[in-house]
A and B are shown apart, each in its own frame.
Chain A
Amino acid sequence: MSASDIRVAASRWVDDHGECLYRYALVRVRKPEIAEDLVQETFLAAVRGYEKFGRRSSERSWLVGILKNKIVDHFRKLGRETSFTDMEFLSDEFSEKFVSVGFWNHDLGPHEWKPEPDEVMHRAEFWQVMRDCLSKLPEKIRAVFTMREMDCVSSKAICAVLSITDSNLWVMLHRARMALRECLEVNWFDTPAGGTV
């Protein structure tokens, strides 16, 4: 591919995928100018690495993969400057879910979730609810959770990137999952929009 072909392709990538990448970056880093920078770095890396693309995956997932790495790099830098341990959040917020001996309060235990993930993923409203629920998590808890579950970084790697201990990571992930589960259930699975696909 010649330089001019790549230039044309790159310009098309920005039109086709720029918005998606930008919105994802924005969910992760919150600041528009940082999100724009990350998107720019992603496209620059894509141009440099175009030979390696090889069309094994869709263009979008290839670009998203590059962006995920850029986001991890961003958090690595942040991890050097700030402490990512957050043990305060939710200390007792879900205690009403359990009776005193530690079993679920049956009236407040998890409901059944329907339909299957593959159906839900076609619904824009589901992604909106997920974004809203993520945005309710405290910043550090969200950073850890999204790195684990969206960027698919291993827990060992997250500990290294953010300089936190294993046990702190597990506590933070547990709290994130507890809160996100509850939020998705209330705002999606228990609503007519979520239940009636």
Chain B
Amino acid sequence: MPDEPYNPSPIGNPSVLARRNWWQTMLVKFIGKHTPKCREMVRILSQSMDEPMPPMMRIKKRLHFLICCWCQRYEEQLRYMRHTARHFPEHADEASDAPFSAEARERIKQKLAESAR
């Protein structure tokens, strides 16, 4: 069945389940049919970063990850981005070389001195 949409490339597919033999093919097709497609899954994964995922969807996600290492990576990478982005502000001086002008510096010091009086 060359036009079968689910996991068409078992060779080199690093997912836990790929179509490596008859029963895996059956399982992959079953899971593919009963869990959201990747295009939808990535949207759901993004939303789950902002509000809790319903329990049934959690189960579907787990099943989907068995046949799709790419969605699993996607979720890990959403967390990776969150984890690093949170620390961005403290490293902002390393992230750019925009000059903080000496005038601005002095002006702010002046204001601070006035306010602390």
A-side residues, CB < 8 A to B, are 3-4, 6-7, 10-11, 14-15, 18-24, 26-27, 32, 36, 39-40, 43-44, 47-48, 60-61, 64, 67-68, 98-99, 101-104, 106, 109-113, 117, 120-121, 124, 126-128, 130-131, 146, 148-150, 152, 155, 169-170, 173-174, 177-178, 180-181, 184-185
Q: Give the residues from 96 to 114 in chain B that come closer than 8 angstroms, CB to CB, to chain A.
A: 96, 98, 100, 104-105, 107-109, 111-113
Interface of B is mostly: helix
Report chain B residues within 8 Å CB of A27: 92, 95-96
Least CB distance, B107 to chain A, in whole angstroms: 7
Does more than half of chain A's interface fall in helix, strand or loop, or is it mixed? helix
Q: Is the pair B95, A10 in contact by a Cβ cutoff of 8 Å? A: no
Q: Are B37 and A149 in contact (CB under 8 A)?
A: no
Residues 1-44 of B, flagged 1 when their CB comes within 8 A of A and 0 if not, give 00001111100010000000000000000001000011110110
Question: Interface residues of B, CB < 8 Å — how many?
Answer: 56
Given A103-B5, A127-B91, A170-B46: A18 in contact with B105 (beta carbons within 8 A)? yes
A103-B6 contact, Cβ under 8 Å, with A22-B104, A173-B50: yes
Query: Closest 6 A-B residue pairs measured CB to CB?
Result: A102-B37, A109-B70, A24-B92, A127-B95, A124-B94, A20-B93
10 contacts between A and B (CB under 8 A): A10-B113, A11-B112, A18-B100, A67-B89, A99-B8, A102-B38, A110-B74, A117-B84, A155-B50, A181-B77
Once the chains are docked, how many angstroms separate the CA of A112 from the CA of B73? 7
Q: Across the interface, do B38 and A44 meet the contact criterion of CB distance under 8 Å? A: no
Given A40-B107, A47-B116: A19 and B95 interface contact (C-beta under 8 Å): no
B37, A23: Cβ atoms under 8 Å?
no
